[in-house]
Structure 1
Amino acid sequence: MPHLVILYTPNIEGETDMSALCRTLADCMLAQRDDEGRQVYPTGGTRVLAYPAAHYAVADGKADYAFVYLNVRMGSGRSAAVQKRIGDALLAATKAHFAPVFDARAIGITLQIDESPGQVYDGKHSNLHPLFNKA
């Protein structure tokens, strides 16, 4: 973990590059530092995934409205101030990415951060972390 999952209405695919948004947000996550200046998210564990909704209804349905929902899941242990800085940075990057779309159509954007305290199970199998943990 951390994972950032993006769910969006596919009616915006012709107006924006979702792969570019994923890379922008992954880079934003990797740039985050805690109060001691340490990287908040491990490079090998950072993932951003985007999925278009196969079926959706937005607002009253009287126009071709769009919606983007971003959800960050991360383990516990980060201060409220660090969490807020992360949320503000990710929202700013998302707003910048969607500025041209926002100016051209009605679109809602929501970003939420969820912390997962008290996990019941957290199994992992990865050879990504060693690629970035070379001291």
Structure 2
Amino acid sequence: MPHLVVLYTPNLEPQADLTALCRALCDTMLAVRDEAGRPVFPTGGTRVLAYPAAHCAVADGQGDYAFMYLNLRMAAGRTDAVKRQVGDSLLECARARLAPLFAQRPFGMTLQIDESPGQVYDGKHSTLHPLFNT
């Protein structure tokens, strides 16, 4: 963890470089530091995944509307200031990367952060973390 999942209307695919957006969002997450200057997220556990909605309806259906939903799920333990910094940084990254689309078409975007306060089960198996724990 953290996992940022991006769900979007498929009409964005021809106009947006979603692979580059994912990379930029991931790099943004990895760049955030806490009050002591430590990375907020572990490199090996930071993931951004994007999916087009198989089926969707946006607004009144009378236009070629587009929408993107970004949901960051992270473990508990970060200060409110750090959570706000993460949200502001991710929203600014997405807005900058998608600015041409906002200028061209009706397009909405929502970013939400969910914190997992007390997991019932959090099983993991990874060979990614050791690559970055040096």
Q: State if a TM-score over 0.5 links the two structures.
A: yes
1:12 Cα deviation after fit? 0.9
Moved over 2 A (4+): none
In structure 2, distance between residues paired with 1:121 and 1:51: 25
Write the mapping of 1:1-135 to structure 2, written as runs, cut at 5 A: 1-134=1-134
- Deviation, 1:37, is 0.4
Identity over aligned pairs, percent: 68
Aligned partners of 2:13 and 2:52: how far apart in 1?
9
Following the alignment from structure 1 to structure 2, what is the Cα–Cα distance between the partners of residues 91 and 109? 9
Displacement of 1:36 in angstroms is 0.5
Please report how far the alpha carbon of residue 100 of structure 1 lies from its aligned counterpart in structure 2 after TM superposition: 0.3
Please give the TM-score of this superposition, normalised by the length of structure 1: 0.99
- Number of residue-to-residue matches in the alignment: 134
Q: For 1:73-92, what per-residue CA distance to the aligned partner results, in whole angstroms no more than 9, with x for missing partners?
A: 00000000100000000000
Taking structure 2 as the reference length, the TM-score comes to: 0.99
Amino acid of the structure 2 residue aligned with 1:99: A
Which residue identity lines up with residue 110 of structure 1 in the other structure? T
Distance 1:10 1:4 in 2: 18
- Give the gaps of 5 or more residues in structure 1: none
